[in-house]
Amino acid sequence: MRSKITGTGSYLPERIISNDDLAKTVHTSDEWIIERTGIKERRVAGDDETTSDMCFQAAGKALEASGTFPEEIDLVIVATMSGDMPMPATASFLQQRIGAVNAGAFDVNAACSGFLYGLSVADNFIKGGTFRKILLVGAEMNSKFLDWEDRSTCVLFGDGAGAVIMEPAGDDSGVLSTHLSSDGSMWDFICVPGGGSKYPSSHETVKDGMHFIKMRGNETFKVAVRTLEKLVMDTLAANNMKPSDLAMLIPHQANLRIISATAKRLNLPMSRVAVNLDKFGNTSSASIPIALDEVVREGRIKEGDYILLEAFGGGLTWASALIKW
Ligand code: ACO
């Protein structure tokens, strides 16, 4: 039995910060950011907003789209690296808020690959017959983990949430395969070093900015391009498919140059690639479900289409999923 996505939803905070806005506070420019990343603006949550607030908005739309009542949900999974608190899980806040009174709840943290890790978990719970209806959300409030004086990171990230409802397919549509990989030897390429057991929160960790996202961007970029090109080809090969079978690629939105390199490897025109990082920046584990919700609502994918989802991020981790819509 396959699992399939029966509803999608997303939420983006109202506040827009443009590249020109950032150029007023750090030494950067609209030209540099667009040329090196493709990002034009990003959304930033309000001071009182939380990650679970964004989950709630996105989840409500996904429930509505799939015609599911909250009490039918068996499991709530939130993929995030920027949850409301280190404990409890953001999924617990969402479970209560949405009224999923019969559901278990936990978070998945695989940085930008988190949504696809969560998708794989949900897929296997449904395939194995353990659960029937799963709410999976990718949500990030990166703005609260950014050093707004560090131009090498603050221009890249944004806030947002995307949600899906997954349930048994009943036909040959749904998730065909998921692929998860990691290499922890490069953990320090992207990390938030402070606030955990290694460097518990202290005056020193705060003073040293250890609670902010740190990234070795250029080294990450090279590994990402190489890894994703292989990942997409391996995912197709595992399903005896070729690039021309794909209707759409839905990539993680970190950098337009990385996305273009993957599309080129697949020989896919950019019209068949979901791109929204120009508007939202890198929303980490929220980027794929937000992009998926956009293409679904715009009617850009139809029943029977093959779509490939792929992501790369902190860990390092990388992951993909091939879906028959
Ligand atoms: N504005 C202007 N100049 C800048 C900025 C900026 N915002 N940021 C860096 N620069 C400068 C650097 O200081 C450097 O200057 P120098 O040559 O005088 O030293 C120069 O620009 C080039 O810097 P690079 O880091 O080499 O720039 P690069 O072309 O690699 O682009 C970027 C940087 C956009 C971060 C890119 O490397 C990238 O996208 N990396 C991958 C990110 C990614 O995929 N992350 C994974 C997901 S994130 C997650 O999991 C949480």
* 1-14 confidence digits (pLDDT tens): 899 999 999 999 99
**pLDDT for res 1:** 87
Q: Which of 142, 218, 225 to mutate to test the pocket of ligand 1 (most atoms within 8 A of CB)?
A: 218
Measured by CA distance, the residue closest to atom 49 of ligand 1 is 313
Whose CA is closest to 6, among 60, 63, 78?
63
Domain's final residue, options 170, 203, 222 = 170
CATH number of the domain that residue 207 is part of: 3.40.47.10
**Whether residue 102 is found in the same domain as residue 206:** no
**Whether residue 126 is found in the same domain as residue 207:** no
Contact (CB, 8 A) for 275 and 256:
yes
**Whether residue 126 is found in the same domain as residue 146:** yes
Output DSSP code: residue 29: -
Residue 240 belongs to domain spanning: 175-324
**Whether residue 33 is found in the same domain as residue 97:** yes
Residues with CB under 6 A from ligand 1: 28, 32-33, 36-37, 111-112, 151-152, 155-156, 190, 217-218, 220-221, 224, 254-255, 258, 282, 284, 312-314
**Whether residue 253 is found in the same domain as residue 309:** yes
Output DSSP code: residue 27: S
**Whether residue 146 is found in the same domain as residue 267:** no
What is the C-alpha separation between 180 and 183, in angstroms, rounded? Answer: 11
* Integer angstrom CA distances of residue 114 from 68, 221, 253, 286: 24, 18, 13, 8
Active-site residue identified among 55, 112, 154, 191? 112
How many domains, the chain?
A: 2
What is the C-alpha separation between 249 and 273, in angstroms, rounded? Answer: 5
Cα 317-33-274 angle, rounded to 5 deg:
55
Measured by CA distance, the residue closest to atom 20 of ligand 1 is 152
Domain's final residue, options 123, 152, 170 = 170
Contact (CB, 8 A) for 114 and 81:
yes
**Whether residue 181 is found in the same domain as residue 249:** yes
Measured by CA distance, the residue closest to atom 29 of ligand 1 is 36
SS3 category, 200: coil
What are the residue ranges in the chain where pLDDT is below 50? none
Task: Tell me whether strands 41-43 and 104-108 are parallel, antiparallel or unpaired.
Answer: unpaired
Closest atom of ligand 1 to 252 CA is 47
Measured by CA distance, the residue closest to atom 24 of ligand 1 is 218
- Reading phi first (left if > 0) and then psi (alpha if -120 to 50, else beta), residue 296 is in alpha
Domain's final residue, options 119, 154, 170 = 170
**Does 112 qualify as catalytic in the annotation?**
yes
**pLDDT for res 245:** 96
Token pair of 188 as six digits:
């320090």
**Whether residue 150 is found in the same domain as residue 236:** no
**Whether residue 77 is found in the same domain as residue 161:** yes
**Does 252 qualify as catalytic in the annotation?**
yes
